Amino acid sequence: MFCSQCGQQVPEGANFCPSCGAPIAGSTVAGGTDDTTSAMEVGAFDPRHEVEDLPELEPGTGMLVVVRGPNAGSRFLLDRERTSIGRHPESDIFLDDVTVSRRHAIVSRQGATMVVEDNGSLNGTYVNGERVERRELATGDELQIGRFKVLFVGDPGLTLGELS
Residues 103/113, Cβ–Cβ less than 8 Å: no
Query: Domain residues of the chain, as ranges?
Result: 1-27, 47-162
Distances (CA, A) of 124 to 52, 86, 138, 143: 30, 12, 19, 11
d(CA 151, CA 74): 11
Say whether pTM exceeds 0.85.
no
Which pLDDT value is given to residue 9? 74
What confidence tens digit (pLDDT) does each residue in 135-156 have? 999 999 999 999 999 999 985 5
What confidence tens digit (pLDDT) does each residue in 82-104 have? 999 999 999 999 999 999 999 99
Question: Does CATH place domain 47-162 in 2.60.40.2130?
Answer: no
Across the chain, what does the average pLDDT equal? 79
Residues 62/152, Cβ–Cβ less than 8 Å: yes
